[in-house]
Amino acid sequence: MFNSGFCSITKVCGFIPSFVYPPNIIPPLWFLGYFPMKTAFTIWIWLHLIATGFVLWGANILLESHSRAFRTICSISVAFLYGFVFDLQVGNVATFIAVLLLWMFIYARNDRDIIAGLFLGIALFKPTLVILFLPYFLIKRRFQLVFISIVTVTVLAVIGLAVTGNSLTGFIQDATRGFPLWLNDPSNNAYISMSRLDLRVMGPRFFPDSPFVAKLFSDLIVLVLVGLVCWYFYKKQSRNAWSKKVDLSEMVLISTLSIAINYSQPTSSVMLAPAVVFLLNDLCFQIKNCAFSRQRMSVWLLGVGCVMVQTAVIHGGLLVFLGKRWNWKGGELPYLFKVTIFSLPSYAILGLTLSVLVLAITSLRQKQVPEFDLQN
């Protein structure tokens, strides 16, 4: 029914593979079922536009500069992320995840753990993008926030199962059968897909004829990246006496890891909104402290370039335009292009994570120098 309705309304026709969301997504979306499809379609579009507005508002709250120019640049850069545009086209829920996580961080930064926990619990209806925030807040010893989020997601899941007449075992069986079918679809298959952002596609693209080597290569990249981020968290927490304070750089790293290590499509780039704010805040910090260096600015420009790859202009325009020249669903995409230009979104996620990691480490050192001199 959805396939035929989607085709008649948007004129985008084709097979949409089955997928299974967790039952906690039912309560927030249940009200749409009481409207005719066209009305629900219109409501869904307006909800996406409102959610995008809240993302821009939250990004400006996190922006440290009060300059109108910086705020304009921030708003335009966030709005141009391809995830927001593509999410609006396909009706995904990723934009709402971006809103919930962004405002969850704002409230957590102000020690409003109950509201932050509620937002995090609701956002868990798309667990691949959210699940890493639970161990992060456990490391930060924000136990109340984690407890509230677990209670929230549990209550929503119970309500979702009850109103649909389903059971937990039935859902698990559906998910077990449905997820492999979803991943084997050409749009999602790691060996064929042109649109996936995560690093799990790197091995299959470089070694399409050797599944074992492909999996080993992807796992190695993911393990190294996770190890570097964990090392940074440990070093920072040990220096700060295991502080409960949350930092924007930490949220950006968790967001990029959430995209990098799990299955991620273009809609997931909405998670990069905090990264835009972080890069602008870092530039403001360097301007105020007159601590520019050629090496550090090169890393900053790398981060900016990686964000630009995820914009609607490059990812949504250039890559999609070039991809239409081949029958990529039939596996006809040339190997050279598969590991170069069409892997740019995955390379950008890896590069952005590493650049934010380097900038966060150097900023931490620079902030400690004035405090040391003042004490002496």
Per-residue pLDDT reduced to its tens digit, 30-49: 899 889 888 988 899 999 99
pLDDT at residue 13, rounded to an integer: 62
| 341 against 7, higher pLDDT | 341
For residues 269-288, average pLDDT? 92
CA distance 97 to 55: 10
b/e per residue 48-80 (b: at least 16 CB within 10 A): beebbebbbebbbebbebeeeebbebbbebbbb
Chain centroid offset of residue 286 CA: 27
On the CB side of 155, CA atoms within 13 Å amount to 10
Of 252, 197, 249, 202, nearest to 83 by C-alpha is: 197
pLDDT at residue 375, rounded to an integer: 44
At 82, the pLDDT band (50, 70, 90 cuts) reads very high
For residues 304-316, average pLDDT? 90
CA distance 276 to 287: 17
pLDDT at residue 286, rounded to an integer: 83
For residues 133-155, average pLDDT? 95
Quick check: 166 and 37 in contact, CB under 8 A?
no
Tell me the per-residue pLDDT of 330-346, one tens digit each, with 9 for 90 and over.
Answer: 777 888 888 988 899 99
Show the tokens assigned to 280. 């602008």
At 371, the pLDDT band (50, 70, 90 cuts) reads very low
For residues 235-257, average pLDDT? 91
Tell me the per-residue pLDDT of 15-27, one tens digit each, with 9 for 90 and over.
Answer: 566 667 889 999 9
Show the tokens assigned to 123. 């956002």
Residue 131 clears pLDDT 90, i.e. is over it: yes
CA distance 227 to 232: 9
Which region among 39-53, 217-231, 286-300 has the lowest average model confidence (pLDDT)?
286-300
> pTM of the predicted model, to two decimals?
0.89
Residue 2 clears pLDDT 60, i.e. is over it: no
